[in-house]
Every structure is written in C-alpha cells, then in structure tokens.
Amino acid sequence: MPKVTVHRKAHFNAAHRLFNPNWSDEKNAEIFGKCSNPNYHGHNYELIVSLTGEINKETGYVYDLGRLKHIIKTEIEDAFDHKNLNIEVPEFKKLNPSVENIAVVAYNKLRKIVEEEYDIEITLYETPRNFVTYSGE
C-alpha cells in the first residue's frame, strides 16, 4: 500500500521569555535580545502536524483527521493557548521555551498518543518567517 502524508494545521497564542537562569541579565540580553524581556512577549504560533502512513484499505484514510484535530486540541492547543509558557506550562518550568523546544515538546506529547505505525513531523511557525521542523530525530 502506498505511504501518504496527511497534515493538520492548528494555532495557539502564547507568551514566553527566552533566558538562561545561569546567566546574568546582560548575557541573556546579549544572546536573546528582545526575546529575553523580563516582562515576556508573545507569538501567534502556527502548528502543522504531519502523519505519514499507509492508506487503510477499508477507510481510504491514512489517519482520521477528525481524531487528529481532537488530539492536537487537547494535547497542544488547550495546554499552550493563551498561556505564559515559562510559568503555566509544566514542560517549560526548567526548559527554555524556544520554538525548537516547543516543537520537541509538542512532538513528544503527540508521540505518546499517535500509534507507532505513523511517522510524525511537527512544523511550528513562531512568525511567518521563523519556523522549525522536528520529526523525533
């Protein structure tokens, strides 16, 4: 059976501050610039979840996109949307919430639920020009 990749797009709005607690305020400002604002700043994140697998002979689906929509909503959107990632999201209490780390956390949350037969790839846009892709490697 052919392998096909299906995609589901979602979004969430969240605030964060990039900083290393082991560094001085000056060094954080030097490395992270405006993103190290002690009062935080926010982004309108765009998330694309891609699943690759074989087409099911009975349904014609690779994956039920209604189910994927529900999983993304409960695991990612509800957990991150309108939150201060540094303060309100447990995964970022000790992890700098860079777009790279947010993508890895999102992947790990989905990997626990989506069956192993599917390859998962996360594409996360922090801005229209800045985005990352992560597929568990």
Mind telling me the catalytic residues?
Answer: 35, 82, 126
What Å distances lie between residue 87 and 4, 18, 25, 97, 114, CA to CA?
Answer: 38, 12, 18, 10, 27
What Å distances lie between residue 35 and 29, 32, 98, 107, CA to CA?
Answer: 8, 5, 10, 23
Contact 19, 92 (CB under 8 A): no
Q: Residue 87: which H helix or E strand, with range?
A: helix 85-88
- Residues 6+ positions from 66 with CB-CB distance below 8 Å: none
